Amino acid sequence: MSEVRPLGLFGGYGVELEYMIVDSETLDVRPIADQLICEEHGRLENEIERGAFAWSNELARHVIEIKTNGPVRSLAGLGAGFAGEVARANELLAPVGARLLPTAMHPWMNPAREFEIWPHGDREIYRTFDRIFDCTGHGWANLQSAHLNLPFANDDEFGRLHAAIRSLLPILPALSASSPFVEGRHPGTLDTRLEVYRTNARRVPSVAGAVIPEPLFTRECYEAMLETIYTDLARFDHAGRLQHEWVNARGCIARFDRMALEIRLLDVQECPQADLAIAAIVSRIVRSLCDPDAATQARLRGLETGRLASLLWRTAADGDGAKIEDRDYLAALGFDGAARTARDVWRGLIEKEIAGDPMAAEHRPAIELLLAEGPLARRILRRSGPKPTRDALASVYRDLAACLSEGRLFGVDA
């Protein structure tokens, strides 16, 4: 049997979108992902294949992940494919009075009362996470993300790709923040998912590190970092159930088992059209930053983790309005040293890298909405206000559920 050769840079894409299952009327969470899988597949599995797509469970029993069934050659047309999968899931959920709900956090879920851990296949892994970290908090029980996987074929490509992604991670919330509410209140942050995520593994700090990955650009150096995580976890994980590269909880992780880097910082959006537009923006700009030019690589690889992390938490809080003043960071992205907002940085990057891209026409409506009205969290807040009643909040999220089922974007004035 011939060995399968890994895909090179931008030779493929993997996209994963997570959704909540909620009651059709109340929008309260419904822990029935296993029932949904059984209805579609005829028996319970952790993952089922549906042609070009696959569905799988997550740690929380009310969450279903819909993803590409392996890498795809292009993101073109993928939003429509995901929309078809959403439609199928909603069709199966309707008879039991349930539906899918988008966004990265349920706006009023109380995990202490409503969270149920996945009790089936791989349950010992989930129970180990729960025993070590206590998964009843929002940082485990109430968060949905969009993952973008980008391949590499060798150490050189790994290093360039990791340097490029690492530089963009701090400003991703300016595009994708969609979690402005937790337990019915707005805590003052647009990307609350990242705020709860950053501390969910605090019992073993090396698991998430600073969320921004360290400046590691070879597989050997990266695997040495993973060994540190495994050693720290071994004090609590005597059976070794978590000794795998997926336990790394940084905002971008290396998956050497499939020779890809997985970006984990993106909040899931109101519909796949929006998620795929963001994936297209990010992948196109990452491609540009993978330039092997020595000066470009030196600027990117010289970015210090602490400064990148500081910027990440500013954009998690303020989204597109976050002020960027770090001259070295701006220079690494191709800007002069003048301070500007994250919105202006994205606008400049998009105008430079996306305008002539053939994919731009497909994604233009979502891109224009992002640049005009900001990330989804800002649009939600403008519609709801910062202190909505439960009924008012439910009305907004009911419209978001409709956006998902109808495949339409969520605008402030809709």
Q: What is the 3-state secondary structure (H, E, C) of 258-321?
A: CCEEEEEEEECCCCHHHHHHHHHHHHHHHHHHCCCCHHHHHHHHCCCHHHHHHHHHHHHHHHHH
pLDDT of amino acid 2: 42
Residues sharing a CB contact under 8 Å with residue 202, sequence separation 6 or more, in sequence order = none
Token output for 244: 């795998």
Q: Please tell me whether residue 6 adopts helix, strand or coil conformation.
A: coil
Its CATH architecture, for the domain 117-406, is: 2-Layer Sandwich (3.30)
- pLDDT one-digit tens code per residue, 113-159: 999 999 998 999 999 999 999 999 999 999 999 999 999 999 999 99
Cα 263 from Cα 279, distance rounded (Å): 10
Kind of pairing between the strands at 260-267 and 252-255: antiparallel
User: Which stretch of DSSP H or E encloses residue 60?
Assistant: none
Report which DSSP code applies to 177: -
Burial profile 308-347: b = 16 or more Cβ within 10 angstroms, e = fewer: bbebbbbbbbbbbbbebebeebbebbbbeeeebbbbbbbb
| C-beta of residue 29 within 8 angstroms of C-beta of residue 21 | yes
Strand-pair partners of 263:
148, 252
Tokens of 347: 């606008």
Q: 264: closest CA among 18, 10, 1? A: 18
Q: How far apart are CA 411 and CA 39, in angstroms?
A: 34
d(CA 262, CA 251): 8
Rounded Cα distance, 324 and 209, in Å: 23
The Cα angle at residue 118 between residues 116 and 121, in degrees rounded to 5: 165
- Output the pLDDT for position 1: 35
Below-70 pLDDT ranges, the chain: 1-4, 355, 358-359, 412, 414
Please list, in sequence order, all residues whose beta carbon lies within 8 angstroms of the beta carbon of residue 214, skipping any fewer than 6 positions away: 225, 305
Phi, psi of 183 (to 5 degrees): 50, 40
Please name the helix (run of DSSP H) or strand (run of DSSP E) that holds residue 196, with its range, or none: helix 192-197
The one-character DSSP state at 104 is S
- pTM value is 0.96
Q: What is the pLDDT of residues 339-356, one digit of tens each?
A: 999 999 999 999 988 767
| 174 three-class SS | helix
